[in-house]
Amino acid sequence: MEIPFLDLKSPHREMEPELVEVFRDCLRNASFIGGPKVEAFEKDFAAFCDVPHCVAVKSGTDALRFALVAAGVGEGHEVITVPNTFIATTEAISQAGASIAFVDIDERTYNMDPNRLEDYLKSRRPAAGGRRPKAVIPVHLYGQPADMDAILEIAGRYGLIVIEDACQAHGALYDSRKEGQWKKAGSMGLAGAFSYYPGKNLGACGEGGAVTTRDPSIAQKIRMLRDHGQARKYYHDIEGYNGRLDTVQCGILQVKLRHLREWNEKRRQCAGRYLALFEEVKGVLPPFEPSWVKAVYHLYVIRVKQREALQQFLSGQGIGTGLHYPVPLHLQKAYAGLGLPAGSFPAAERTAREILSLPMFPGLTPAQQEMVAGAIKEFLAKNPY
């Protein structure tokens, strides 16, 4: 029996009548760009994230880029993030006109280490290369919020804007000890960027993304940016982008959003079952979830020493896995120009060699999880480290 890394077909089969109805409605009304479906979805997703504003855009990459531009980040600025993220995070920084700076991660959570952020800001020469730090982008990697209390506190002291990369964290919760309440991913920084790429916890039937914010002027600016800088057709206050989200995708996302809480809950149950299964397996380090977060497990990532061999073995057993991500960004060819050699971010580099993403999706069954864990046990018994 094959166990896919991700099953996108079953949920769509179940929702097919509703989704086809959305498409038919758009077709019959020739409603393709803008309109009530876009506004209705934005309202629903804003409510889901506990923020007053949501602006739907073409992709998570656009969401990050527009959030930076709307926040006034551009030339002469530096934006700080982590090296173990998808390249969209840093593409957005460069494309906004700013330069990229990295800080290392906390090896237990794989998220930005606030201590490294503080060290970097302390040790950084003022105006290095004529640039000054302007923003921080913590990434809620794998669906687990970064330590936002600490990051927001440090950012506040250094006068930095915080944009959350929540592209993997729709509905994830963070217990703000400072504010004494649980907060949704995307509701804590100046803005949050979400992706609706099909494989994300909430995915469109194509590309999609959104920015969430509590700041009405940021929301307004992003509405302009996504629509060629116009608030009124053919009257352009600024140059913008073609970054609107299709009406049909908003309609589809609105239908799917109704299931998101349940899907996230199922992912958490799957994570709980994996954790129990791996308890007695030496050589597997399961994800660590601090008591102050509720992760939504976009990915379920374990750490093992013989990662390549295990991945191959599982593939031979028909078990799909993934690597998120195999090469830290500072070591990618695209960023050779940054001049950051191997060894610059030891925690991110070590984890990149040992991480393995296991099958994780709401419909993953206990029997399938037992097979995955069984196969890993079998491999480790044959290949003790």
Ligand X SMILES: *Cc1c(COP(=O)(O)O)cnc(C)c1O
Footprint of ligand X on this chain (CB under 6 A)?
59-61, 85-86, 88-89, 139, 165, 167-168, 195, 197, 209
Nearer to ligand X among residue 201 and residue 247 (C-beta): 201
Residue whose CB is less far from ligand X, 101 or 380: 101
The nearer residue to ligand X, 90 or 368, going by C-beta atoms, is 90
* Least distance to ligand X, CB of residue 21, Å: 25
Q: Are 111 and 94 in contact (CB under 8 A)?
A: no
**How would you classify the pairing of strands 293-294 and 173-176?**
antiparallel
- Residue 355 or 376: which CB sits closer to ligand X? 355
Q: Which two tokens stand for residue 137?
A: 């982008």
Q: How far is the CB of 295 from ligand X (least distance, A)?
A: 14
The tokens of 115 are what? Answer: 């201590």
Q: Nearest distance from residue 87's CB to ligand X, in Å?
A: 8
* Minimum distance from residue 61 beta carbon to ligand X (Å): 3
Minimum CB separation of residue 190 from ligand X in Å reads: 17
Nearest approach in angstroms of CB 216 to ligand X is: 24
Tell the smallest beta-carbon distance from residue 3 to ligand X (Å): 22
Contact 57, 243 (CB under 8 A): yes
Distance CA 37, CA 165 (A): 25
Residue 177: other Cβ atoms inside 10 A:
10
**Residue 140 or 284: which CB sits closer to ligand X?**
140
> In which residue are the tokens 């794998």 written?
142
Nearest residue to ligand X, by Cβ distance, number only: 60
Q: How far is the CB of 329 from ligand X (least distance, A)?
A: 11
Q: In the beta sheet, which residues pair with residue 55?
A: 211
Cβ closer to ligand X: 64 or 150?
64
| CB closer to ligand X, 61 vs 111 | 61
Residues 6+ apart with CB under 8 A from 104: 82, 83, 113, 116, 345, 346, 347, 348
Distances (CA, A) of 167 to 16, 144, 230, 284: 25, 11, 26, 27
Distance of CA 312 to the CA centre of its chain: 27
Shortest reach from residue 181's CB to ligand X, in Å: 25
Nearer to ligand X, 283 or 322 (CB): 322
> Which lies closer to ligand X via its Cβ, residue 94 or residue 230?
94
CB of 84 to ligand X, least distance (A): 10
Give the residue with the Cβ less far from ligand X, 197 or 297: 197
Rounded distance, CA 221 to CA 330, Å? 31
